[in-house]
Amino acid sequence: MNITVDVNELNTEFNVKLKGEIDAYTAPKLRESLFPISEQENVSITIDLTEVSYMDSTGLGVFVGAFKSVRAHNGEFTLVGLSERLRRLFDITGLADIIDIKSGTEGGLE
């Protein structure tokens, strides 16, 4: 199981494309890529989850941590391309009410 993190940077805008599985084994790599960005002032991070085939609650922890950090540094945090299963995870945990989430438009991921 692996994950690739592809970061595209333009001034203070970061477009992050994730591909693969997010679980306890790959979460540390994701955290290492996201946290340095999230700690900068006034950034706008958009994370594309279209090609994430699996995510467990460990991944959720990474996103909440990054979200809190971005918010504390006056930035914006958006998640896009969520499959139905991922969307449900954010709905159940109440995170969909506080994080800006745009569901997948490029077809289902499952």
Binding site for another protein (CB under 8 A): 23-24, 31, 56-58, 60-62, 64-65, 68-69, 85, 92-95, 97-98, 110
Least distance to another protein from the beta carbon of 35, Å? Answer: 9
Q: 9 or 56: whose CB is closer to another protein?
A: 56
Q: Which long-range contacts (CB under 8 A, 24 or more apart) does 102-105 make?
A: 102/78, 104/49, 104/50, 104/80, 105/81
**Residue 47: closest CA among 5, 16, 89, 20:** 16
Q: Which token pair is 43?
A: 């950034």
Select 80 or 99, whichever has its Cβ closest to another protein.
99
Smallest distance, another protein to C-beta of residue 82, A? 16
The nearer residue to another protein, 65 or 104, going by C-beta atoms, is 65
User: Which is closer to another protein, CB of 19 or CB of 71?
Assistant: 71
